Amino acid sequence: MQTQQKNIDLANNIQMPMVGFGTYLIQDEDAQSLVHQAIRAGYRHVDTAEGYGNEKGVGLGIKAALAELGISREEIFVTTKLYPGNEAWGQTPKTYESTIESLQASLARLQLNYVDLYLIHAPFAKTERLNQWKALIELQRQGKVRAIGVSNFNEAHIEEIKAAGLPLPDANQIELHPWSQKPELVSYLTQNDIAIIAYSSLVPLSSWRTVAGQDSAKTEQMKADGVDSNSPFKVMAQKYGVSEAQLLLRWGVQKGYAVLPKSANADRIRQNIELFGFEIDEQDMEAIAQMDRGEGVAWSSGDPTKEV
C-alpha cells in the first residue's frame, strides 16, 4: 500500500491531516526519536499535551525531521493541550492569565513560535472553563495558535460556550472506537461544524496499553474479548488484507474523524498510517455500528465527557 493522506478542513482554511501521531505515554527521552521516525514515515500531524510531559522531546523530534527531510514548519500540524486543573483532584484550576502562560511555556518546550491547534484537555475546571476558553480566543488573535478547540467536552460544555456568545471550538478530541461510539455527541458536533478527532482508536486490541503502569478503565472482560481468535475485527481485517489496528483506524477515518495512533514500534508506526488503500464495506460498517458499549475506557478515572 502507498502512503496517501487526507485532510479535514477547519475554519479559516486550516487543513488538519486525518492521521496524527499520538504521543501519550511516550517518555520525554523517547519522544524525539519516535516523532522523528513518524514524520519520516509520512505523518504530518503530531498530538501532544502539557500533561504528557514530553513536549520537549516532541519539539526536538519535529526539528530533527524538518532538518533531515527538508520540509518546512508549515507542513507539520502540531497540537498541544492546556492541562486545565481539576478542583475535585485537589488542583488549582488554570485562570485566564495562567492559561496564557501555559501556552507560552508549551511553545518554549516545543521550541515553536505557534501551534496549529490548542485544546483545553478536559472540562474539569468548572469555575474557570469559560475563562480558559476566552484565553484560547486571545491566543488565536495573537497568532500563537492557528485553531482552537476542546477535548472531552460534551454537549452541555459546548452549550455553555454558546450561551456566553463566544465562538465555538474548531475541534473536539474525544475517545471514539467501535466500543465507544457516542452517537448523540457525534451528531451534535457535526451539526455545529466542530471537527471530530478520535483518540484511543485501538482500545479493542489485545495489545492496547499492555505495559505495566499504562492504566485505564478497560475491564478484564474487554481484555478477554480482545484476544478472542474470532474477534469480529480480526475476521474483518483478514477480509481486507490489513491488520486489526488498520481496520480500527480506518473505521475512524471512514466516519470522518481524524485519528491519532500512538506506537513506540517502528513497524506499527509505518502500518498505522496506511489507511487509504482500502474501504470497509457498508455491511461491515453496519455490523460495527451494533458493537457500541457506551462510555470510553482510556482514562482510569472514567470517561471525562461524563463530567458536569
Options 16, 107, 145, 245; binder of ligand NDP; rule CB under 6 A: 245
Residues 6+ apart with CB under 8 A from 187: none
Candidate residues 16, 23, 106, 150; the one interacting with ligand NDP per rule CB under 6 A:
23
Q: Which is nearer to ligand NDP, 119 or 135 (CB)?
A: 119
201 interacts with ligand NDP by CB under 6 A: yes
Which of 37, 140, 243, 305 contacts ligand NDP by CB under 6 A? 243
Scan residues 222-241 and list those touching ligand NDP (CB under 6 A). Answer: none
Q: According to CB under 6 A, which one of 261, 273, 297, 303 is a site residue for ligand NDP?
A: 261
Binder of ligand NDP out of 27, 91, 111, 265 (CB under 6 A): 265
Annotation says 52 is catalytic: yes
Residue of minimal Cβ distance to ligand NDP: 22
Contacts of 159 (CB under 8 A, 6+ apart): none
Cβ nearer to ligand NDP, comparing 58 with 60 = 58
* Whole-number Å distance between alpha carbons of 201 and 261: 7
CA distances to 85, 137, 188, 242, 303 from 92, in Å: 6, 21, 31, 46, 21
Cα distance between residue 131 and residue 123, in whole Å: 12
Binding of ligand NDP by 278 (CB under 6 A): no
Kindly state the smallest distance separating residue 121's Cβ from ligand NDP, in Å: 6
Choices 18-26, 58-66, 162-170, 233-241; region in contact with ligand NDP by CB under 6 A: 18-26
Question: Which one from 24, 43, 52, 199 is the annotated catalytic residue?
Answer: 52
Could you tell me the smallest distance in angstroms from the CB atom of residue 70 to ligand NDP? 26
CA distance 284 to 48: 32
**Percentages of the chain per state (helix, strand, coil), in multiples of 5:** 45, 15, 40
Q: Exposure of 117 by Cβ count < 10 A (0-12 exposed, 13-18 middle, 19+ buried)?
A: buried
Stretch that binds ligand NDP, among 2-10, 70-78, 103-111, 198-206 (CB under 6 A): 198-206
Contacts of 130 (CB under 8 A, 6+ apart): 160, 161, 164, 166
Beta bridge partners of 15: 9
The torsion angles phi and psi of 37, rounded to 5 degrees, stand at -60, -40
> How many other C-beta atoms lie within 10 A of the C-beta of residue 234?
19
Give CA–CA dist 269/221, Å, rounded.
Answer: 28
Question: Shortest distance, CB of residue 64 to ligand NDP, whole angstroms?
Answer: 19
**Which residues, 94 to 123, sit near ligand NDP by CB under 6 A?**
121
Catalytic residues: 52
Enumerate binding residues for ligand NDP (CB under 6 A): 22-25, 47, 121, 151-152, 173, 199-202, 205, 207-209, 243, 245, 260-265, 268, 271-272, 298
